[in-house]
């Protein structure tokens, strides 16, 4: 069962909900249809965790840091405070449809499967920052997967090819507070991208091992996995930390201070 993002733009809310019901009926009993509301894409409820998932339609996109994005970034800061070569060459990528949790995994859920530190226990509605081993344990226990790097960037861009998922400029702090939350207890007050995803910049584990760029057979960084997002880790920003919200931004997990990072869940359809 497939539909393009453009198809959903033409659907009514009831048609999107009907798509979700049909989709859930073709999956196992871990997913149930949920009200999509005013969102463009259908919503499903993961019954084992209570997390909402968005249907991410398949499609093609330009993965990586384009020359147009570089020009936009230079308007904000010259030189750009990022290694541009790590995000190139830009490639045309085809992505199959999948489900993605609309929030990162929170401490409340992670604490059911792994031991949290005192901070995690005291902040159940905050994103769970776990080691790779712990994150994989949670993902396996709930019957899902970590996103591939391609899935993550495709979902973050949500049909855009701009510097950020929201455009080419840095919004005011009042909006950034809603893009970069530390507390997800009231997600309805936050800002979501075009696919209905929140909290994309907590810093998140991806499935892939980290390669130094997108060249064929580019060298692996030993023992490192791909980390995406991360702008919320530095908020409120003191310098040019907006680079960590660029849709193409990536880093190796060897760069994590304590080896811990957030993550969200995906499920193929």
| pLDDT tens, residue by residue, 143-154 | 999 999 999 999
What rounded mean pLDDT belongs to the chain? 95
Domain annotation covers residue 37: no
What φ, ψ does residue 244 adopt, rounded to 5°? Answer: -80, 0
Domain annotation covers residue 55: no
What's the confidence (pLDDT) of residue 1?
Answer: 65
What's the confidence (pLDDT) of residue 22?
Answer: 93
Distant-in-sequence, close-in-space partners of 7: CB < 8 Å, separation ≥ 6: 57
Domain annotation covers residue 56: no
What's the confidence (pLDDT) of residue 119?
Answer: 85
Q: State the Cα–Cα distance between residues 101 and 210, nearest whole angstrom.
A: 23
Domain annotation covers residue 68: yes
> Tokens at residue 226, please?
């791909």
Domain annotation covers residue 261: yes
What's the confidence (pLDDT) of residue 188?
Answer: 84
Domain annotation covers residue 35: no
Q: What count of residues does the chain have?
A: 269
| pLDDT tens, residue by residue, 165-211 | 999 999 999 999 999 999 999 888 999 999 999 999 999 999 999 99
Domain range for 205 = 64-93+103-268
**pLDDT lower than 70: segments of the chain:** 1
> Tokens at residue 188, please?
């309805």
> Tokens at residue 201, please?
């910049």
45's enclosing H/E stretch is strand 43-46
- Total number of domains in the chain: 1
Domain annotation covers residue 25: no
The residue assigned the tokens 């990022």 is 82
């Amino acid at each position: 069962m497939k539909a393009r993002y453009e198809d959903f733009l033409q659907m009514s809310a009831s048609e999107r909900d009907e798509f979700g019901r049909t989709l859930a009926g073709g999956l196992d009993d871990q997913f149930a249809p949920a009200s999509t509301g005013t969102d463009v894409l259908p919503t499903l409820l993961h019954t084992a965790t209570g997390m909402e998932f968005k249907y991410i339609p398949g499609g093609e996109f330009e993965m990586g840091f384009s020359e147009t994005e570089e020009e936009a970034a230079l308007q904000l800061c010259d030189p750009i405070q990022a290694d541009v070569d790590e995000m190139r060459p830009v490639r045309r990528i085809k992505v199959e449809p999948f489900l993605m949790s609309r929030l990162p995994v929170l401490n409340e859920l992670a604490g059911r499967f792994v031991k949290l530190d005192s901070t995690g226990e005291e902040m159940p509605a905050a994103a769970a920052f776990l080691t790779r081993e712990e994150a994989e344990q949670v993902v396996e226990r709930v019957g899902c997967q970590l996103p591939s790097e391609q899935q993550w960037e495709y979902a973050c861009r949500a049909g855009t090819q701009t510097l950020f998922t929201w455009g080419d400029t840095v919004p005011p702090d009042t909006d950034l507070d809603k893009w970069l939350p530390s507390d997800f207890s009231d997600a309805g007050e936050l800002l979501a991208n075009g696919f209905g995803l929140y909290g994309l910049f907590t810093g998140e584990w991806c499935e892939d091992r980290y390669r130094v760029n997108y060249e064929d057979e580019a060298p692996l960084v030993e023992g490192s996995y791909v980390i995406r997002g991360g702008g919320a880790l530095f908020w409120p920003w003191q310098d040019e930390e907006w680079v960590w919200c660029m849709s193409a931004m990536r880093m190796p997990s060897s760069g994590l201070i304590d080896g811990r990072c957030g993550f969200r869940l995906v499920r193929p359809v």
